[in-house]
């Protein structure tokens, strides 16, 4: 393409916990790579954490690392040998690129998110996609229909998290489901549980505004404001009462005609919420933990043990984009409804600060080139 490129801008977090918007030349795609004009990127809680703590868990920022891993855009140039995408295609960027070698049992068996040498863009040393021009291995770009908006393309990433969770948790028609936490992941999980036919669905949070937002997304959901000072076992009783009331005590799954969640989708990673979830989940049910938090946590061990409650975890996603694209393109999941604020790339720093500011209401902040 002979079209002149604009100045490249990239939002980076530094080892001194600062945000810097860096100007550069657009990169050139090498063999097997494509150059993407990124048109929308969602801000994730981990971007905020990487910036404010100059790292996350085991990963430390040593120099500067570009933020962002929820992105979509248009292919504008191809490196040698690329055949799966063409210039002009709208694409979603899958940000986790595993080794892909046949000697790696995780890659070989399709569990590529568990590849020990996966490069996850925005986790140091790999730069993220919060930039205007991003070079990506072409095989990890997913072509989407031309009718899909850039906001929708970016949101295929958090949808991927929740689709992988929905599949691993085997959410089914008519299952009572509890969702703890109404942040971006909690509300996307709510959309997935609703689309799976789960009923009733109860969602918890400490924030009334986030619960109101969830209720506006899915009017059938039962929102429950949590008092963090209350004992987890008592909060769990409130949740079971909410399920029982929502079903008028019919179709009981617990003792005494109580209705309990067959599956709890834990979307906070907070120890007290995991305790609540442990006590609320039906015996022989599933406590599915998406949230991440402290590296060592105490759980209600004997309650979980004597009730044969299963526990499963999640690490990102594998092979979810094709399904996510079909669901959004078919209108089965309207994921763009979780967007609460939009900023242009020139104001990317402000966007991340906005997403981090707990005094301002936000669910999903997007950095987006509005000119679609
Ligand atoms: P978020 O922080 O925006 O939302 C969490 C919500 O939980 C907030 O609204 C908060 O008010 C609420 N909350 C806090 N304590 C609570 C409690 N005791 N009871 C009920 N609600 C409570 O985060 P998010 O972006 O929605 O992500 C949710 C979690 O999922 C985070 O821990 C995130 O790191 C994790 N995550 C995990 C994966 C994975 O691969 N496992 C992928 C993406 C996100
Ligand atoms: Zn591998």
pLDDT over 80 at 198, yes or no: yes
If one residue of 70, 113, 268 were mutated to test the ligand 1 pocket, choosing by the most ligand atoms within 8 A of its CB, it would be 268
CA of 101 to the centre of ligand 2 (A): 6
**Whole-angstrom Cα distance, residue 62 to residue 176?**
46
- Establish whether residue 266 lines the binding site of ligand 1, counting it when its CB lies within 6 angstroms of any ligand atom: no
pLDDT band at 251; cut points 50, 70, 90: confident
- Could you give the domains of the chain? 8-143+334-368 (3.90.180.10), 159-313 (3.40.50.720)
Digit-coded pLDDT (tens) for 255-289: 678 999 999 999 999 999 999 999 999 999 999 99
Tokens 């790696």 correspond to: 104
So what's the pLDDT on residue 248? Answer: 86
Counting ligands in written order, the one closest to the CA of 113 is 2
Which atom of ligand 1 is found nearest the CA of 210? 9
- Establish whether residue 204 lines the binding site of ligand 1, counting it when its CB lies within 6 angstroms of any ligand atom: yes
Other CB atoms closer than 10 Å to residue 91's CB: what's the count?
Answer: 26
So what's the pLDDT on residue 250? Answer: 79
pLDDT over 50 at 1, yes or no: no
Digit-coded pLDDT (tens) for 222-231: 999 999 999 9
- Establish whether residue 268 lines the binding site of ligand 1, counting it when its CB lies within 6 angstroms of any ligand atom: yes
Name residues whose C-beta falls within 8 Å of residue 6's C-beta, 6 or more positions apart in sequence.
132
So what's the pLDDT on residue 2? Answer: 45
- Establish whether residue 180 lines the binding site of ligand 1, counting it when its CB lies within 6 angstroms of any ligand atom: yes
If one residue of 118, 160, 181 were mutated to test the ligand 1 pocket, choosing by the most ligand atoms within 8 A of its CB, it would be 181
Which atom of ligand 1 is found nearest the CA of 158? 43
Digit-coded pLDDT (tens) for 14-59: 999 999 999 999 999 999 999 999 999 999 999 999 999 999 989 9
So what's the pLDDT on residue 269? Answer: 98
pLDDT band at 372; cut points 50, 70, 90: low
Counting ligands in written order, the one closest to the CA of 48 is 1
Share of the chain above pLDDT 90, in %: 94
Residue nearest to atom 14 of ligand 1 (CA): 268
Q: Residue 209: which of 230, 182, 184 has the closest Cα?
A: 182
Give 4 or 241, the one with higher predicted confidence: 241
Counting ligands in written order, the one closest to the CA of 106 is 2
Which atom of ligand 1 is found nearest the CA of 270? 15
Would you call 139 exposed, middle or buried from its count of C-beta atoms within 10 A (0-12, 13-18, 19+)?
A: middle
So what's the pLDDT on residue 282? Answer: 96
- Establish whether residue 207 lines the binding site of ligand 1, counting it when its CB lies within 6 angstroms of any ligand atom: yes
CA of 119 to the centre of ligand 1 (A): 23
pLDDT band at 254; cut points 50, 70, 90: low
Counting ligands in written order, the one closest to the CA of 107 is 2
Per-chain mean pLDDT for the chain: 96
pLDDT band at 371; cut points 50, 70, 90: low
- Establish whether residue 315 lines the binding site of ligand 1, counting it when its CB lies within 6 angstroms of any ligand atom: yes
ipTM metric: 0.99
**Whole-angstrom Cα distance, residue 75 to residue 37?**
6
**Whole-angstrom Cα distance, residue 57 to residue 348?**
24
So what's the pLDDT on residue 232? Answer: 98
- Establish whether residue 269 lines the binding site of ligand 1, counting it when its CB lies within 6 angstroms of any ligand atom: yes
So what's the pLDDT on residue 4? Answer: 80
Which atom of ligand 1 is found nearest the CA of 49? 34
Tell whether the torsion through CA atoms of 343, 349, 350 and 354 is positive or negative: positive
Which atom of ligand 1 is found nearest the CA of 186? 26
So what's the pLDDT on residue 278? Answer: 98
Digit-coded pLDDT (tens) for 102-158: 999 999 999 999 999 999 999 999 999 999 999 999 999 999 999 999 999 999 999
Residue nearest to atom 34 of ligand 1 (CA): 292
Digit-coded pLDDT (tens) for 182-191: 999 999 999 9
3-state secondary structure labels for all residues of the chain: CCCCCCCEEEEEEECCCCEEEEEECCCCCCCCEEEEEEEEEECCHHHHHHHHHCEECCEECCCEEECCCEEEEEEEEECCCCCCCCCCCEEEECCEECCCCCCCHHHHCCCHHHCCCCEECCCCCCCCCCECEEEEEHHHEEECCCCCCHHHHHCHHHHHHHHHHHHHHCCCCCCCEEEECCCHHHHHHHHHHHHCCCCCEEEEECCHHHHHHHHHHCCCCEEEECCCCCCHHHHHHHHHHHHHHHCCCCCCCCHHHCCCCCEEEECCCCHHHHHHHHHHCCCCCEEEECCCCCCCCCCCHHHHHHCCCEEEECCCCCCCHHHHHHHHHCCCCCHHHHEEEEECHHHHHHHHHHHHCCCCCCCEEEEECCCC
Residue nearest to atom 12 of ligand 1 (CA): 181
């Amino acid at each position: 393409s002979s079209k002149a490129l604009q100045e490249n801008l990239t939002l980076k977090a530094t080892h001194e916990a600062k945000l810097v918007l860096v100007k550069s030349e657009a990169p050139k795609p090498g063999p097997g790579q494509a150059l993407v004009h990124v048109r929308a990127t969602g801000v994730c809680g981990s971007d905020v954490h990487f910036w404010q703590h100059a790292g996350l868990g085991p990963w430390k920022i040593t120099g500067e690392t570009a933020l962002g891993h929820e992105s979509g855009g248009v292919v504008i140039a191809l490196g040698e040998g690329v055949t799966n995408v063409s210039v002009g295609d709208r694409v979603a960027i899958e940000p986790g690129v595993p080794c892909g070698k046949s000697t790696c049992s995780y890659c070989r068996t399709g569990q590529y998110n568990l590849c020990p040498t996966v490069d996850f863009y925005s986790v140091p040393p790999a730069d993220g996609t919060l930039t205007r021009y991003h070079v990506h291995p072409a095989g990890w770009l997913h072509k989407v229909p031309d009718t899909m908006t850039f906001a929708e393309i970016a949101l295929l990433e958090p949808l991927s998290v929740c689709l992988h969770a929905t599949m691993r948790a085997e959410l089914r028609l008519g299952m009572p489901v509890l969702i703890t936490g109404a942040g971006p992941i909690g509300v996307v999980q709510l959309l997935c549980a609703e689309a799976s036919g789960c009923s009733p669905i109860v969602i918890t949070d400490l924030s009334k505004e986030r619960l109101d937002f969830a209720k506006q997304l899915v009017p059938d959901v039962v929102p429950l404001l949590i008092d963090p000072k209350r004992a987890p076992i008592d909060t769990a009783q409130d949740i079971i009462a909410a399920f029982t009331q929502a079903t008028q005590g019919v179709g009981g799954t617990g003792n005494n005609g109580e209705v309990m969640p067959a599956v709890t989708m834990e979307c906070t990673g907070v120890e007290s919420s995991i305790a609540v979830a442990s006590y609320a989940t039906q015996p022989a049910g599933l406590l599915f933990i998406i949230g991440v938090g402290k590296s060592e946590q105490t759980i209600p061990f004997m309650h979980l043990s004597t009730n044969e409650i299963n526990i499963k975890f999640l690490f990102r996603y594998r092979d979810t984009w094709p399904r996510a694209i079909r669901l959004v393109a078919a209108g089965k999941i309207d994921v763009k409804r979780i967007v609460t604020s939009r900023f242009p790339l020139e104001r990317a720093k402000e966007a991340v600060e906005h997403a981090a500011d707990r005094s301002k209401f936000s669910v999903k902040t997007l950095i987006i080139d509005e000119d679609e």
